[in-house]
Amino acid sequence: MTDSQILILAGGQGTRLPQYDKKELIPLNNKAIILHLLENIKKSGVCRQPAIVVGYKAKELINFLGPDYLYCYQKEQLGTGHAVMSARGMLAGRGQNVIVLYGDHPFVSAETIKALNRVFREKKPTLALITIKLPDYNDWRQTFYDFGRVVRDQAGNIQEIVELKDTTDQQKSITEVNPSYYCFEADWLWKNLDKLSTNNQQGEYYLTDLIKIAFDQGCQIETISCANPLEGLGINTPEQLEIARKATSH
């Protein structure tokens, strides 16, 4: 058993970028989006063989990336929680902790991946996650308005992540957001995935619901604030692709 298993979610279709077959393969600075992430994972030294959840255009992605990775197949795209469920059979028992990242997020750095892994090793929480604190949602940061809000209790402990579609007006004003980079204690993750439900506006299994489940169980949850908001950028829309291209052209 290795200490850390990285799991990359890359099974989605990317309906808001219809001109591209597979968003993870969109070129960014002459390199596919997912390759930026994979290079930073390699630099981090955290995991020898990352696993990748594939679904839509699975064959194209596997042919492009080759045999160096574990591939888990997601038959239907029913949300991020469902994507992780589809990896359970292959990954249960492979690592003491599971770090979840996204194939369309090219800017998460090796340092951030190492920090997530280090916090898990040193503090041994049930889960750890990266958060991004924004000054506001103006200019290019408007893209983060769609992100889940980090809701904390009066003591400052993280309580839950609320997706934008499910937020109250008061929660919409929160400027600490969730880029969805997690490190889970593996046994806890595999046991608690079945507690996820589709009782939300999207009718999907949200991986973020595990944070409230952990809070309600009294589990230890650690957060790490990422200083560079760009690391949280995912490529889901033409606007986000343009922000990413501008960022890599300097």
Residue with tokens 């893209």, as numbered in its chain:
143
Q: How far apart are CA 4 and CA 94, in angstroms?
A: 8
Q: How far apart are CA 48 and CA 194, in angstroms?
A: 28
Structural domain span for residue 78: 2-248
Three-class secondary structure of residue 115 per DSSP = helix
Strands 127-133 and 176-178: antiparallel
Strand-pair partners of 189: none
Phi, psi of 209 (to 5 degrees): -65, -20
Catalytic residues: 16
Max Cα separation, the chain? 49
CATH code (residue 50): 3.90.550.10
Write down the pLDDT at residue 2: 56
Q: How far apart are CA 26 and CA 212, in angstroms?
A: 34
As for how many domains the chain has, the answer is 1
Residue with tokens 């029913």, as numbered in its chain:
78
Q: How far apart are CA 178 and CA 176, in angstroms?
A: 7
Mean pLDDT per segment of 10 residues, for the chain of length 250 residues?
A: 86 89 94 98 97 97 98 94 97 94 98 96 97 96 95 93 92 97 98 95 91 95 95 95 91
Per the confidence metrics, is the pTM higher than 0.85?
yes
Write down the pLDDT at residue 1: 44
Q: At what angle do helices 58-65 and 33-44 cross, to 10 degrees?
A: 50
